[in-house]
Amino acid sequence: MSARKDGHGDMNFGSSASTVSKHFVTGIMISAVLSATACTPAPPVKGFSNITLEGVVAAISVNPQAFGQGIENVKEGYVALIKENGSYTVIKTSGMASQELLWTKKGLYFSDRDSDYFIGKKSDGGWMSKRKTDGKVPYQNFLVEDREGGAVAAFDLGFTDKVSNQLKIIPMFSSQKPYTIASRILSAAAFCGPKLVGITAEENNSDKAHPDIEARDYVTLKDLSKDSGNVSVYDSGVRSFNVISYGNAVCRTSQLFSILSERVSETTEKLFLLKWNIISDEKQLIPIMYKDGRQLNLSNAGIFQDRYSLVDNDTFVFSARQTGSLFSIDVNTGVVKKRFSPENLPLTRETTDEGNIAYSLRITKKYFYILFVGFGERNGRAHITVINKKSWKIERTITFDQTLSDLLRGGNRKMSYADGYAVDPEL
């Protein structure tokens, strides 16, 4: 897929296939809704200096997106802080496409085009730090938790005719200095063992160190701690795999976990669990299947995994982005242990058009928090379904008012929800 010009000289943004595919479906849904949606009332905006996390359980971002939204010309976005009863406060930002939100034991982290933000759990206000000019970019790649409960962000700097694609790595609110590496956009990233690493699937191999797999689909693992060029390749041969996960990769000690898929049809993917030891470079690709031997096939709209998806030593949990189905699998065999039936979710929608809906998963100490956003006018109010991790039963539903629901689905604005979602991990 060719890169597009964005008005920044000969710099190209959004060029990497992973970012393109990650938000392609959402972009289509939103662009179809915007022209037909009535005017959305302005949300209740609060100044950032007066913000606290008191009573807040979740945060959701609303931003201009990469497809059909004129992102380079939109200078605003929102972060909504949601309380248990569905009430909320909205923070206005300068906007950030593919904006990530990260909630650690310390508090909530996020960035816009100009600044980095932190809201402490016990603070009477937040911290905001202006970035240098070279940090002003409209696209975020990832936001991961470091070993101390802080955050490290990555932004896409794009590429030129002479310079390979670059990522700017920024340790947020840290004495560590930002640095830039040569890398494609990563599909998932995590601190694993002694390193910050990322993975992505690539359509063609341009890595001169591995000419034997030229023009074959492959998955790469890259050391992001420094621009070392330390890349390991998983050769998928003639098979075509993709990293379809929304959310960060999962790590236990030095073992990286993520969901991969292989296309079955134009609309369906069969799923695999990738286990990658970043020290020994041992790789395992385990088919995910039911107990009767049937392979798990899902829509190619992707799945949602969380940095807490490894809920115990042998169980990995993820959800289907387009249906809300929740799965737990055995990490050693790939066998599905539990499945949450999507018909149990209070969808409140009047249509069965799954292309106009999105589910997002976050995992806390006691619960699974599944966010539902319907992008069509007939899809009802957005809400969060809270599911007990032990019983896998719904405990409560947090329903948003019409103003916030309309804001998330696009309204008549050039922005919408696109998977920026965080929940207090201590809940």
In this predicted model, which residue has the larger pLDDT, 366 or 377? 366
> What is the pLDDT, as a whole number, of residue 423?
98
In this predicted structure, what is the pLDDT of residue 317? 97
Residue 40: the pLDDT is 64
Q: 273 pLDDT exceeds 50?
A: yes
Question: Hey, what are 167's tokens?
Answer: 């990522």
Question: Residue 398: what pLDDT?
Answer: 97
pLDDT for residue 24 is more than 60: no
Question: Tens digits of per-residue pLDDT, 83-114?
Answer: 999 999 999 998 888 899 999 999 999 999 88
Q: Give pLDDT, residue 383.
A: 95
Strands 231-235 and 126-130: unpaired
pLDDT at residue 25 greater than cutoff 60: no
Distance CA 241, CA 346 (A): 33
Separation CA 406–CA 385 (nearest Å): 18
With left for phi above 0 and alpha for psi between -120 and 50, is residue 347 left, alpha or beta? alpha
Element (H, E) at 252: strand 250-252
Distance in angstroms (rounded) separating the CA atoms of residues 382 and 363? 19
| Interacting residues of 196 by C-beta distance below 8 A, sequence separation 6+ | 144, 152, 169, 189, 190, 223, 224, 225
Token pair for residue 278?
């970043």
pLDDT given at position 135: 53
More confident residue, 44 or 364: 364
pTM of this prediction?
A: 0.86
Q: Which of 261-265, 348-352, 372-376 has the lowest mean pLDDT?
A: 348-352
Tell me if 158 sits within 8 A of 11, measured CB to CB: yes
pLDDT, one tens digit per residue, over 50-76 is 788 999 999 999 988 654 445 666 678
How much is the mean pLDDT over the chain? 80
Please state the φ and ψ torsions of residue 93, each to the nearest 5 degrees: -125, 180
Q: Is 354 helix (H, G, I), strand (E, B) or coil?
A: helix
Identify the residue whose tokens are 């031997």: 293
Burial degree of 38 (CB within 10 A; 0-12, 13-18, 19+): exposed
